[in-house]
Chains A and B, each alone.
Chain A
């Protein structure tokens, strides 16, 4: 039973390009969460999705960031027109239920904007 799969592991983008981060949840998990870890900081909640629905995007920056979790395929975190300040580790987690924090985390995607 594979864990939460994130790819790519490392992503380098030039300023102004788009970054697409993918997350495949564990089998049987229909709840996906994205967290961002800026340098020297703890992880910060970004968004919670179920299949085809965004449940809570209260932690998402208002511009340039979007997330989806389609009926088929992985969840995608998309960052348009990246800037240096977007450089961070982006972690995805999944759970079978939305409460009690039964998370399984992926290994993260390290985004570097040059």
Chain B
């Protein structure tokens, strides 16, 4: 069974500073990997996903993530945070090959200070 760990429950970052959110997964092979963002009162929005190929994935809103097989990690990064990036971020994994169930981490809440 797959599982996801997001070690940081809450991160506070200054506007304009860089951001990195950690995600570690447990799965027997290379899973499909996702990052979602949930702004207050909104649904989950897909930031980016990794299925195969280039291990550095570009997403929307200036986010990127890097898949590191040796570390079973898929960390999310943004070089310069904007106040609108304050939200909750979820990492998720899914089994390749026609499955549909995602396993989510518990989320990391990002606070942006002026």
Contact = CB atoms under 8 A, between A and B. Distances in A.
A48 B100 contact: yes
B44 A91 contact: yes
Interface in A92-114: 93, 95, 98-101, 103-108
20 contacts: A9-B41, A42-B92, A42-B106, A42-B107, A43-B44, A43-B92, A44-B104, A45-B101, A45-B102, A45-B103, A48-B101, A56-B100, A59-B101, A91-B43, A95-B100, A101-B32, A101-B100, A101-B102, A104-B43, A107-B41
A64 B43 CA distance: 26
Given A40-B106, A101-B49, A107 B42 contact: yes
Interface in A65-96: 91, 93, 95
B11 interface: no
B100 A107 contact: no
Contacts of B56: none
Interface of A: 3-4, 6, 9, 31, 33, 35, 40-45, 48, 56, 59, 91, 93, 95, 98-101, 103-108
Given A42-B106, A43-B102, A48-B100, A101 B44 contact: no
B28 interface: no
B34 interface: yes
Interface in B51-103: 51, 90, 92, 94, 98-103
Given A45-B102, A98-B100, A4 B43 contact: yes
Contacts, number: 63
Contacts of B36: 105
Contacts of B103: 42, 45
Interface of B: 4, 6, 32, 34, 36, 41-46, 49, 51, 90, 92, 94, 98-107
A85 to B, nearest CB: 17
B42 to A, nearest CB: 6
B21 to A, nearest CB: 14
B104 A103 contact: no
Given A42-B103, A98-B98, A103-B102, 7 more contacts: A31-B100, A43-B102, A43-B104, A98-B100, A99-B99, A100-B51, A101-B49
